[in-house]
Amino acid sequence: MTRREALMLTKNGFGGLALMSLMGSFGCSRFKSPAGINPSGLHLGAPHFAPKARSIIFLYMDGGVSQVDSFDYKPRLEKENGQNPYDKFEVAATQFNNIGTILKSPWGFKQYGECGMWVSDLFPHIATCVDELALIRSMVSEFPEHTNANYFLHTGHGIQGRPSMGAWVNYGLGSDNQDLPGYVVLDGGLIPPGGLDNFKSGFLPANYQASILKPGKTAIPNVEPLEPAQNIQKSKLDLIKQMDHSLVGKIGHEDEVAAAIDNYELAYRMQASVPELTALAGESEATKKLYGMDSSDPHLAGYATQCLMARRLVERGVRFIELTCPRVEADRWDQHAGLKDGHERNAHAVDQAVAGLLKDLKSRGLLETTLVVFAGEFGRTPFAQGKDGRDHNPSAFSIWLAGAGVRGGTIYGETDEYGYRVIDKPTSIHDLHATMLHLLGVDHEHLTFRFSGRDIRLTDVHGHVIRDILT
Amino acid sequence: MSGTKFQIIKSHLKLISWLQTQYVTLLATLMVFACTPASEEESIQLPDQISYNFDIQPILSNNCYVCHGPDSSTRQAGLRLDLREWATKKLDDGKRAINPGNWKKSELINRVSSHDPEIMMPPPEMKRNLSAREIALLKHWIEQGAQWEPYWAFIKPEMSETPEVVAKSFINNEIDRFLVNKLETKELVPAELTDRYSLARRLSFVLTGLPPDPVVLEDFVNDPDSDAYEKLVDHYLDAPRFGEHWARHWMDLVRYADTRGHEFDYKVNGAWHYRDYLIRAFNQDVPYNQMVLEQLAGDMIETPRLDRPSGANESVIGTAFYCLTEGKHSPVDLRIDQSERIDNIIDVTSKTFQALTVACAKCHDHKFDPIPTTDYYSMYGMVESTRFTLTQAGFDEKRKLILDSLKRDQSSIRNYIVENLTDEPPANLKSEVELHDISRYHIIGDFRDGSLADWTPDGISISNAMGNPVVSGNLLAGLEPAKISSRAIGKGLFGVLRSPGFIISEDSMLFRAAGKNSLIRVVINNFQLIQDPIYGQLQTRLESNELQDYTIDLSMWKGHHAYIELLVGDYRRRKDKGSHEYDLDPEAWLEAAYIIGYDSLSGDVNTETVTSSITGGSTLLNKWSSGNASPNEIAALDGWLASSNTEVPGLEEWANGQQGRGRRLYDSSFVAGVTEGDHIKSPVFIRGSLKNLSSYQVPHRYLTAVSDTTKVFQNQGSGRLEFAKKVADPDNPLTARVMVNRLWHHLFGRGIVETVDNFGVQGKIPSHPELLDYLALKFMAQDWSIKKMIKFMVMSQSFQRVTTPSKSSLVVDPENVLLQHYPVRRLNAESIRDAVLAVSGRLDTTMYGPSVPIYLTEFLSGRGRPRISGPLDGKGRRSVYQAVNRNFLSPMMLAFDMPVPFSTFGRRNVSNVPSQSLTLLNDPFIVEQSKYWAAAILNQPEDFEARVKSIYLTAFSRIPQEVEIQEARAFFKEQASLLQSVTKETYGEEELWKSYCHTIFNMKEFIFLI
């Protein structure tokens, strides 16, 4: 076959080939895995039942937002401010074990919305959306250190190397978009402790791992061609394609090689689709303002962009999107000291953008099919670390969900009078994962992968769907 | 293994008589049902003799064992199907699950055939149904008497007769006989042999991970000798590149990394020494059973294997195997942290060497394999009884000789002194000793009697200094009192002294010690990453010339199991080193007299000066020189010498000589390793909980499924050596099979047992069980030689076949399990990168040494990010030498499926993701290498055709076809005009060759083995 003939065969040369239906987060239908994935592509041919959510946006609050300073109002802390916690309750060892006195919240709380949810002054914008939120005040984790808690939150296991929730979702359901990865992490500036392994595919095939999108000129590594003009790269690709097809002809038959050829089509398209995604020129000024892109706080402006990007990814059918936090002029939500300043900076950077995202999704009708989750890896202690910080507390924290299938204005679970430990409806990370999968139409007990001789699940052998917060 | 004869039930099925052997693949099975209605049970073809191991157990294991298997904690209805006695006994309702000889009276058949949700098994919520064929198999098996067999992997390999084959011309060795025999039963004809070009490429990549050098390639192609191929095999087996490639395979098993991950990604001390150890071991063809012993118990081997020519201890480096776990710097709960590390070690050990998933028995008995939870906690105790230590990788023969002579001279000098003393002690002496009365406290170590107490030294420098001469010029200025010291033969010499384990029972600990750049460490639950915020106080730096009191507050840790470590050298953070990287200052030393635990000191430790009279005069000197003088007598002599200006001619020269030679012992190459600790038997953690411990303490022993359960290891130390010997025992049914299967996997792309890390019931059954046994036995008979086994495999014709399948093979065996042809394989990540460097001419074949720092892109961020980025091209070194930072893994390696190092990965995924294409298309590394390659091409004579030919030979190991040269010309023309139209300039040749080379890197032929 000559070059001309080969090009004739594929009509317009490279880029003209119809894409095969893609499987998974990121891959090709003829993908072949030694791990015994069924050859039709996705693990589940279809969801187990009708899904409420098509996409998930996971707003990861890195470091552990203090529940008693945000969504879990505890008047008693004010009354007993400065008193010895050992006189009040059993105090468990903490990461720094520098246990101070009971510490009242530096912020006032008010009730909002029809549901009358208490929200602190840290989140004035999110407070205007409380009737969309299902607040869980009874979250518990198993790990008091960031890294394990992060792995646990992201993968359902406290150790490195397990597939993250976004990978599981795409392994189970695949992606609706053929030109973009199905699992995207929008890097706001802070990679969580535990590193990129929070977003990897573990023992699942590599195509299910997250693609990290960074703000800036090149959002994904190597997505920008280095040739001075597109047609120069295309001329290379034409030769590559032609040679590759003649190779397949020579072997007679080989799925893997053919799949690798298809892969170039996707890569080629990504070179266009990723810049198209990140170009916000088409967005109105009102929209940008809604998110806070016009803010003089560069962290808010940056996070606002990421939130808007999340909406654009949802529009493009991307299945799972996670946002990491901006790097403010204080640590992540991890105020071992200087609670007031640190939490305020972090809150200011995300509050308006998150509220803007909820409102924008709603006005476009996307909130009905998009689940938004706002969560950190654990909570903080009601007593001080040192003078004005709070240490890690895996025994109680607050998260919220909104959107697809979620009953807005719900408050679920309860902590003790100090917000230190859960006393009603303890809810585990596994329960959260089970619920997220449920909203996607997946029975968490039946999304498994055989590894190390076991059928492994995101929820291990645990997890119950939190039905009380669902519509 | 049972025979394989097949009953043909219906004549039309003769056409597809390949169907339904006990080894047929799942896909083929599905195809059978596509053409035979499942209801026509009689049309399902079954083997004459049903095999429990290969036909029945997989059905029971996949569908029933979760509730009716080895795990007692989840067992339902008192029914267990993995043992005949249980499965055939009368149940409470009077029925029998299995009634041998009568399937109609077997409740199991009734249940698995039922559609009634109340009765059916597996129950509806399991969403599993047995296929008609599976039910038919169960019925026939019961009719045949329902014979259980011991699990195939737990019985020793048996030599079966090598089968006869019709097509003798397809046979080189026994491997071909086994494979071709099976092909013939399926009426498949083996594919022809591939041409020499592709054969050399295949051989070079699978043996060395690199493409063949064009010169070697052409020589082979033109070699008229009948043994040309064998010569090439030997050439690659002998190449240093061989060990680099096979070490990397092994590193996948042992979750090799240079760092510990977790929050700050601290380094594993000298991990690269272990990588180099592997490379040497594979290159030197160290017998595999020896490698097993060394990695599991290299510190305990009676006669360690020495590196040649250096004479350094190689065996001990193998124990870094244990130290490649993740590491957390400030775990809130140390016992949980310890249990996670140990779990990982159990997981990796059992998978790597035995292909068993023992870690599945942490919370309950193994659900599928006969691995009780006590097996897990037996191993747990062994690891808990093991301490982590540093090992000197570079302590060679030269240093050993110096050390021996120094020690000899250290004792012979005393005789010399006695003979040459210019003065003699008077008959009556007075000893003045400062007595520290510590008897009221918890004495953890007291070295003032001249001993090391019951502590254990490691390294070379620790001894009790009692009576050592204090020299000043030729003056014998005194004698050292009793205390442990690291500087008797010099400073900067590695040494560590560890206490026996104890339970922390007092608030504080006091150390009477001195030293420089050295540490006192309290190691709790084997926890090593001692630092703030929680653990910083568990470590104190020794910085004083004289003995003084150092105290450590342990009130937070009461009740914990701990030991004390006096360590020459420290873990101080330095400019050129990260935290927790051990550093031995050439001036470092330490001394200690005693260590006590206390809640409160009554005043200070009571000190008073006690004076006593000592008689003996010059006989005291003889007592001293023979090492028999008491501490008091030494104090008396010391008092006399201090006041008498006693000279010994030649003493200064001797002392200077000692010091000079002592300095030559300095060696700063350390690698993490292990050593023996206390004998600790672990209780079972009931349901895996640390808060729920059994009263029973599990003795140390080997896995009960494979060995005599009554044989427990001796009641001391860790038992690792005994465990290692059990693994390396020729009677072990798993070890040799597992390893030859790994070799096979790498050479043929798929293991005989496809699940190379799991030979348990949930693994795949072997495709060629007799061949697997044959190879295992041959492996052991050839003294566990890996190179000989690899040679045997690649000398088979089966290795040398073309990759083009026959038409019938595609139908009969689409997965090519039977190896009718050689599989097409994508190169692994390392080979792709190494091949890029090799063809561009930029490969630096320097071997060994510290890992090349990773090239940091802006996408690699987070805590623990290395301060300095490595170069884009990794210095041109092979990928095996590039740093594996757990939290900053190379994006290119990951894109091409290098596993994340957390568990054993004997078999990598082969994924197909756009980041692979994007890397080869747009990554600056690839573009840069294209430029280098183009420059090299331009150095060749100006002959377009010859240059293209050279590119093909280098990159694809073949000669281009005429049409391909034409295509290249057309491409050059097109690129030239495009470049010109974009920039309005005429483009130089280099730019065009660069484009062409870049294109070559992106061809599938470059990254696939065809």
Q: Does residue B28 surpass a pLDDT of 50?
A: no
The residue among B711, B713, B715 whose CA lies nearest residue B678 is: B715
Separation CA B403–CA B395 (nearest Å): 10
B691 in contact with chain A, both atoms CB, cutoff 8 A: no
Q: Which residues of B touch A446 (CB under 8 A)?
A: 127
Q: A255-291 burial string, b = 16+ CB within 10 Å, else e?
A: bbbbbbbbbbbbbbbbbebbeebbeeeebeeebbebb
What confidence tens digit (pLDDT) does each residue in B352-375 have? 999 999 998 998 899 889 999 999
**B 774-803 residues with CB below 8 A of A?**
803
Number of neighbours of residue B845 by Cβ within 10 angstroms: 14
Contact call for A206 and B333, based on CB within 8 A: no
The residue among A59, A63, A52 whose CA lies nearest residue A321 is: A59
Separation CA B550–CA B435 (nearest Å): 18
3-state secondary structure B840-903: HCCCECCCCCCCECCCCCCCCCCCCCCCCCCCCCHHHECHHHECCECCECCHHHHHCCCCCCCC
Domain with residue B408: its CATH number is: 2.60.120.260
Separation CA A442–CA A438 (nearest Å): 5
The residue among B118, B95, B111 whose CA lies nearest residue B60 is: B111
Residue of B nearest to A229 (CA): B982
What are the structure tokens assigned to B913, written together? Answer: 């993701």
Of B754, B911, B982, the CB nearest to A228: B982
Query: Three-class SS of residue B76?
Result: coil
Q: Does residue B765 surpass a pLDDT of 50?
A: yes
pLDDT the model gives residue B586:
94
Mutate to test the interface with B, among A3, A48, A160 (most CBs of B within 10 A): A160
- Residue A385 within a domain: yes
Looking at A353-362, B318-327, B573-582, B750-759, which range is the least confident one? B573-582
Q: Which residues of B touch A256 (CB under 8 A)?
A: 824, 826, 910, 912, 1008
Average the pLDDT over A273-294 and give the result: 93
Separation CA B966–CA B974 (nearest Å): 12
Contact call for A232 and B979, based on CB within 8 A: yes
**B 420-449 residues with CB below 8 A of A?**
none
Query: Three-class SS of residue B637?
Result: helix
> Could you give the angle at the alpha carbon of A383 between the alpha carbons of A379 and A384, nearest 5°?
95
Rg of chain A's alpha carbons, rounded to an integer? 24
Query: Three-class SS of residue B577?
Result: strand
Distance (Å) from the alpha carbon of A347 to chain B's nearest alpha carbon: 21
> % helix / strand / coil in chain B, to the nearest 5?
40, 15, 45
- Residue A421 within a domain: yes
What are the structure tokens assigned to A52, written together? Answer: 């409420």
pLDDT the model gives residue A216:
75
pLDDT the model gives residue B480:
95
Q: How confident is the model at residue A74 (pLDDT cuts 50, 70, 90)?
A: very high
pLDDT the model gives residue B386:
97
What confidence tens digit (pLDDT) does each residue in B663-708 have? 999 998 999 999 999 999 999 999 888 889 999 999 999 999 887 7
- Residue B592 within a domain: yes
Q: Which residues of B touch A211 (CB under 8 A)?
A: 915
DSSP secondary structure, B732-757, as one string: -TTHHHHHHHHHHHHHHSS-SSSSTT
3-state secondary structure B674-736: EEECCCCCEEEEHHHCCCCEEEEEECCCCCCCCCCCCCCCCCCCCCHHHHHHHHHCCCCCCHH
pLDDT the model gives residue A38:
34
Contact call for A206 and B894, based on CB within 8 A: yes
Q: Are residues B280 and B362 in the same domain?
A: yes
- Residue B509 within a domain: yes
Q: Does residue B2 surpass a pLDDT of 60?
A: no
Q: In this structure, what is the dihedral angle of CA atoms B176, B179, B185, B186, given to the nearest 10 degrees?
A: -120
pLDDT the model gives residue A253:
67
pLDDT the model gives residue A8:
38
Mutate to test the interface with A, among B532, B813, B890, B918 (most CBs of A within 10 A): B918
Q: How confident is the model at residue B42 (pLDDT cuts 50, 70, 90)?
A: low
Q: How confident is the model at residue A7 (pLDDT cuts 50, 70, 90)?
A: very low
Contacts of B929 (CB under 8 A, 6+ apart): B836, B837, B840, B842, B873, B997, B1001
Distance (Å) from the alpha carbon of A1 to chain B's nearest alpha carbon: 9
Average the pLDDT over B322-334 and give the result: 89
Tell me what ipTM this predicted complex has: 0.84
Separation CA B211–CA B832 (nearest Å): 10
- Residue B744 within a domain: no
pLDDT the model gives residue B22:
34
Q: Does residue A9 surpass a pLDDT of 70?
A: no
What confidence tens digit (pLDDT) does each residue in B957-993 have? 999 999 999 999 999 999 999 998 887 777 788 999 9
Contacts of B368 (CB under 8 A, 6+ apart): A453, B61, B65, B69, B70, B360, B760, B761, B762
Q: Which residues of B touch A268 (CB under 8 A)?
A: 917
Average the pLDDT over A289-304 and give the result: 95
Residue of B nearest to A4 (CA): B967
Query: A108: exposed, middle or buried (C-beta count within 10 Å: 0-12, 13-18, 19+)?
Result: exposed
Secondary structure letter of residue B975 according to DSSP: H
DSSP secondary structure, B328-388, as one string: -SS-S-HHHHHHHHHHHHHHHHHHHHH---GGGGSSSS-SSSS--HHHHHHHHHHHHTEEE
Separation CA B344–CA A449 (nearest Å): 20
The residue among A448, A452, A393, A453 whose CA lies nearest residue A156 is: A448
Query: B30: exposed, middle or buried (C-beta count within 10 Å: 0-12, 13-18, 19+)?
Result: exposed
What confidence tens digit (pLDDT) does each residue in B142-185 have? 999 999 988 999 999 999 999 999 888 999 999 999 999 999 99
Q: How confident is the model at residue B574 (pLDDT cuts 50, 70, 90)?
A: low
Average the pLDDT over A150-166 and give the result: 92
- Could you say which of B643, B668, B693 is where a domain stops? B668
Q: How confident is the model at residue B41 (pLDDT cuts 50, 70, 90)?
A: low
Average pLDDT, chain B: 90
Contacts of B583 (CB under 8 A, 6+ apart): B569, B570, B571, B572, B574, B577, B668
- Residue A189 within a domain: yes
Q: Are residues B680 and B661 in the same domain?
A: no
- Residue A275 within a domain: no
Number of neighbours of residue B222 by Cβ within 10 angstroms: 9
B531 in contact with chain A, both atoms CB, cutoff 8 A: no
B417, B651 Cβ separation under 8 angstroms: yes
Query: B354: exposed, middle or buried (C-beta count within 10 Å: 0-12, 13-18, 19+)?
Result: buried
Average pLDDT, chain A: 87
- Residue B225 within a domain: no
Q: How confident is the model at residue B11 (pLDDT cuts 50, 70, 90)?
A: very low
Q: Does residue B569 surpass a pLDDT of 90?
A: yes
- Residue B28 within a domain: yes
Contact call for B894 and A222, based on CB within 8 A: no
pLDDT the model gives residue B320:
98
Q: Which residues of A touch B964 (CB under 8 A)?
A: 243
Q: Which residues of A touch B376 (CB under 8 A)?
A: none
Q: How confident is the model at residue B576 (pLDDT cuts 50, 70, 90)?
A: low
Q: Are residues B344 and B294 in the same domain?
A: yes
**Ranges assigned E (strand) in A260-395:** 320-323, 370-375, 379-380, 383-385, 392-393
Q: Are residues B662 and B686 in the same domain?
A: no
- Residue B349 within a domain: yes
| Number of domains composing chain B | 4
Helix axes B240-253, B196-208, angle to 10 degrees: 60
Q: Does residue A471 surpass a pLDDT of 80?
A: yes
Contact call for A27 and B912, based on CB within 8 A: yes
Q: Which residues of B touch A160 (CB under 8 A)?
A: 261-262, 326, 886, 900, 902
Provide, rounded to the nearest whole percent, the portion of chain A with pLDDT above 70. 90
Mutate to test the interface with A, among B750, B911, B948, B983 (most CBs of A within 10 A): B911
A436, A373 Cβ separation under 8 angstroms: yes
Q: Does residue A31 surpass a pLDDT of 60?
A: no
- Residue A427 within a domain: yes
pLDDT the model gives residue A254:
67
pLDDT the model gives residue A34:
32
- Residue B903 within a domain: no
Provide, rounded to the nearest whole percent, the portion of chain B with pLDDT above 90. 71
Q: Are residues B453 and B310 in the same domain?
A: no
Average the pLDDT over B620-628 and give the result: 91
Query: B409: exposed, middle or buried (C-beta count within 10 Å: 0-12, 13-18, 19+)?
Result: middle
Amino acid at A121: D
Looking at A46-55, A367-376, B794-803, B907-916, which range is the least confident one? B907-916
Residue of B nearest to A263 (CA): B914
Q: Does residue B71 surpass a pLDDT of 90?
A: no
More confident residue, B900 or B345: B345
Mutate to test the interface with B, among A95, A226, A239 (most CBs of B within 10 A): A239
Cis bond upstream, residue A163 (ω within 30): no
What are the structure tokens assigned to B878, written together? Answer: 């092979």
Q: Residue A193: CA atoms inside 13 Å, Cβ hemisphere, count?
A: 25
Separation CA A351–CA A303 (nearest Å): 10
What are the structure tokens assigned to B592, written together? Answer: 């200690």
Q: Are residues B414 and B440 in the same domain?
A: yes
Q: Are residues B435 and B304 in the same domain?
A: no
Contact call for A243 and B810, based on CB within 8 A: no
Q: Which residues of B touch A253 (CB under 8 A)?
A: 804-805, 810
A102, A418 Cβ separation under 8 angstroms: yes
More confident residue, A178 or B141: B141
**B 580-639 residues with CB below 8 A of A?**
none
Average the pLDDT over A334-345 and give the result: 94
B723, B296 Cβ separation under 8 angstroms: yes
Q: How confident is the model at residue B533 (pLDDT cuts 50, 70, 90)?
A: confident
Contact call for B803 and A251, based on CB within 8 A: yes
Query: Three-class SS of residue A224?
Result: coil
Q: Are residues B383 and B474 in the same domain?
A: no
Separation CA A358–CA A291 (nearest Å): 10
Q: Are residues B611 and B517 in the same domain?
A: yes
The residue among B674, B650, B665 whose CA lies nearest residue B723 is: B674
- Could you say which of B709, B732, B755 is where a domain stops? B732
B389, B269 Cβ separation under 8 angstroms: no
Separation CA B548–CA B376 (nearest Å): 45
pLDDT the model gives residue B3:
38
Distance (Å) from the alpha carbon of A133 to chain B's nearest alpha carbon: 31
Q: What pTM, to 2 d.p., does this model score?
A: 0.86
Distance (Å) from the alpha carbon of A397 to chain B's nearest alpha carbon: 18
Q: How confident is the model at residue A36 (pLDDT cuts 50, 70, 90)?
A: very low
- Domain range for B477 is 395-668
pLDDT the model gives residue B909:
81
Distance (Å) from the alpha carbon of B259 to chain A's nearest alpha carbon: 13
Q: Does residue B23 surpass a pLDDT of 60?
A: no
Q: Does residue B527 surpass a pLDDT of 50?
A: yes
**B 308-327 residues with CB below 8 A of A?**
326
Contact call for B757 and A452, based on CB within 8 A: yes
The residue to which tokens 């061949």 are assigned: B771
B369 in contact with chain A, both atoms CB, cutoff 8 A: yes
Q: Which residues of B touch A251 (CB under 8 A)?
A: 803-804, 824, 1010
pLDDT the model gives residue B799:
98
Q: Does residue A43 surpass a pLDDT of 70?
A: no
CA–chain centroid gap for A237, Å, is 34
pLDDT the model gives residue B16:
35
What φ, ψ does residue A468 adopt, rounded to 5°?
-65, -15
The residue among B728, B680, B699, B679 whose CA lies nearest residue B296 is: B728
Q: Are residues B409 and B366 in the same domain?
A: no
Q: Are residues B387 and B399 in the same domain?
A: no
pLDDT the model gives residue A11:
35
What φ, ψ does residue A22 adopt, rounded to 5°?
-95, 150
Q: How confident is the model at residue B614 (pLDDT cuts 50, 70, 90)?
A: confident
Domain with residue A180: its CATH number is: 3.40.720
- Domain range for A395 is 55-89+111-222+294-469
Looking at B460-469, B834-843, B854-863, which range is the least confident one? B854-863
pLDDT the model gives residue B577:
62
pLDDT the model gives residue A42:
52
Contact call for B922 and A222, based on CB within 8 A: yes
**What does the longest C-alpha to C-alpha distance in chain B come to?**
114
B126 in contact with chain A, both atoms CB, cutoff 8 A: no
- Residue B302 within a domain: yes
Q: Does residue B655 surpass a pLDDT of 60?
A: yes
pLDDT the model gives residue A312:
96
| Number of domains composing chain A | 1
Q: Are residues B599 and B557 in the same domain?
A: yes
Residue of A nearest to B66 (CA): A454
More confident residue, A33 or A151: A151
